[in-house]
Structure 1
Amino acid sequence: MNIQDFFELSAGKWFAHRTVQDLGANKANEAKSEIVIEKLSATHPDVVKLCEVLQVNSNSSVVAAKVNWNDTTKLNQKNVGTTVLVLVPGNNADEGKLLRQVSNEDKPSLGQYKLGEDEALSLSFESGTTSYEERLWFASDNLRMRVNVIKQAGGVNTTSFTTEIRMGVPPAKESQAASSASS
């Protein structure tokens, strides 16, 4: 699997169940949400704007996605948002710069990504005095997992584990299923 394949397989609607451990407060919480991941082209206005703001040259080899989430666990108060991710390859297409803009944050973040030989995607970036590390991988086409570590200036503060279950057929298999049904 290459980075393009990883993003193609990620596209679609997902149900996510996340467990968060706040190490400083010694508390655990859980959250459930719906996530919709849409692959974006290198010329999409959100991609072009993010590249311009972070002064990174975009080209046709960038891989980008828009992630919309709808957290449904906060006492019927909807927590919704959007994140735009742009991966700009270095010498190797499976590693390079990570550009990230979250809808509720003023400043975009610049970090790094790497797709390992084990087909797990590692993301890292900093925002002020906080650093984020995330690792994502597929257990199957319809089950994706993530672990996340958030470190404040004084050390690790929060960790999380998320399972994401696809709500429907993967995009590539959807078109194959439609072709088979019409035959």
Structure 2
Amino acid sequence: MDIEQFVAQTEGEWRSMRSAHSLAFQQFEDVLSEISVEKISETNSDLQTILKQEGDLSVSDIKSPFLMKWAAESDWEPEDPNDVANGQCIIVPIPNNQHSGVLLRSIGYAESIAARSEYNFLDDGTFVLRTKYDQSIAEERIWFISENVRCRSSVLKTSEGSGILQTSFSSEVRRLTKS
């Protein structure tokens, strides 16, 4: 597996069911999400802004940039459990080689700031993503169990990596269009 194959396999509309265990707050959370992943043009203005912010990056350095959008409903929303959290981010893969590289994200997974992550693929095709934020470290794993079903797990650690704050597991099913 390489990053272009991974993005191609990830493109589409997904329904996600995530269970998260917050060790810090001793809470368990169920989240239902709609996730959309679509490739974007290398001329996309938001992508061009990200490349300029990085300074020495050009379009020839990146592969398969994409836009990810999500809308999530959680049973742990303090005010209204029917509130929907939504957002979007641009993700820019920069391969070092066929099996590893860097991902730039306009918004991070664990903290709502721009993020720079390192990724690699395991021998079985599992995508592993590691991100060091200001307050935490996140490790995500995504693997496909079929063409239209994938799993995702994450571990959120303290910024020193000495304690685990949260773990989660998601099963995600691709929404198929009727032909």
| Alignment pair present for 1:93 and 2:94 | no
Letter of the 2:45 counterpart: P
Q: Choose 62-71 or 97-106, whichever is displaced more.
A: 97-106
More helix by share: 1
Deviation of 1:103 (Å): 8.3
* Unaligned stretches of 5+ residues in structure 2: none
CA contact (8 A) 1:111 1:123 kept: yes
Q: Deviations over 1:26-53 (max 9, x none)?
A: 2211100100111123332222212222
Provide the TM-score with structure 2 as the length reference. Answer: 0.85
CA contact (8 A) 1:42 1:58 kept: no
Equivalent residue for 2:124, pick from 113, 118, 123: 118
Alignment of 1:63-74 (within 5 A): 63-73=64-74, 74=77
CA contact (8 A) 1:89 1:97 kept: yes
Deviation of 1:106 (Å): 6.2
Q: Give distance in 2, aligned partners of 1:49 and 1:94.
A: 26
* Unaligned stretches of 5+ residues in structure 1: 179-183
| Alignment pair present for 1:128 and 2:134 | yes
- Does the C-alpha gap of structure 1 residues 45 and 3 become closer, same or farther in structure 2, counting only changes over 3 Å? same
Q: How many residues align?
A: 170
Q: Choose 11-20 or 118-127, whichever is displaced more.
A: 118-127
Q: Secondary structure at the match of 1:50?
A: helix
- Does the C-alpha gap of structure 1 residues 29 and 150 become closer, same or farther in structure 2, counting only changes over 3 Å? same
CA RMSD, Structure 1 to Structure 2 (Å): 2.2
Equivalent residue for 1:156, pick from 154, 164, 170: 164
- Does the C-alpha gap of structure 1 residues 108 and 54 become closer, same or farther in structure 2, counting only changes over 3 Å? farther
Provide the TM-score with structure 1 as the length reference. Answer: 0.83
Q: Secondary structure at the match of 2:125?
A: coil
CA contact (8 A) 2:108 2:115 kept: no
Q: What's the counterpart of residue 28 of structure 1?
A: 28
Q: Give distance in 1, aligned partners of 2:63 and 2:130.
A: 17
- Does the C-alpha gap of structure 1 residues 56 and 14 become closer, same or farther in structure 2, counting only changes over 3 Å? farther
CA contact (8 A) 1:50 1:108 kept: no
